[in-house]
């Protein structure tokens, strides 16, 4: 299973999103800190979930980081997040 697949699976299980896009941006960071051969180090995620309704942007991001704690410690160097509630 790829890191991208793991991110997708974990966020789907945790937040039941109506929209989820996981993009591997690693190729854009080749030669920069944290890049490894083969990529899968830098990601952008857009997630829309009812679970984020009424939460601040910071709290939404904290909840995503909590779900991906292990991957952030071991595999992900950078994670750009767009976290939205439906209708936003």
Per-residue pLDDT of the chain (88 residues; tens, 9 = 90+): 899 999 999 999 999 999 999 999 886 656 666 555 666 888 999 999 999 999 999 999 999 999 999 999 998 988 999 999 999 9
pLDDT at 37: 60
CATH topology of domain 3-80: GMP Synthetase; Chain A, domain 3 (3.30.300)
Query: What is the distance between the alpha carbons of residues 74 and 77, in angstroms, rounded to a whole number?
Result: 8
pLDDT at 41: 84
42-48 and 19-24 strand pairing: antiparallel
Give backbone dihedrals phi and psi of 7, rounded to 5 degrees, phi first. -60, -50
Mean pLDDT taken over the chain? 90
Give the SS3 label for residue 81. strand
Rounded to the nearest 10 degrees, the angle between the axes of helix 3-15 and helix 57-67 is 120
pLDDT at 42: 87
42-48 and 78-84 strand pairing: parallel
pLDDT at 32: 63
Domain segments of the chain as ranges = 3-80
Biggest CA–CA distance in the chain, Å, is 40
CA angle 14–63–44, rounded 5-degree value: 85
């Amino acid at each position: 299973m790829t890191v991208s697949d793991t991110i997708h699976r974990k966020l789907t299980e945790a937040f039941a999103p109506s929209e989820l896009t996981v993009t591997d941006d690693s190729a854009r960071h080749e030669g920069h800190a944290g890049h490894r051969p083969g990529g899968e180090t830098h990601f952008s995620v857009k997630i829309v979930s009812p679970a984020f309704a009424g939460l601040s942007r910071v709290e939404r991001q904290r909840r995503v980081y909590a779900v991906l704690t292990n991957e952030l410690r071991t595999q992900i160097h950078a994670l750009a997040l767009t976290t939205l509630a439906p209708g936003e």
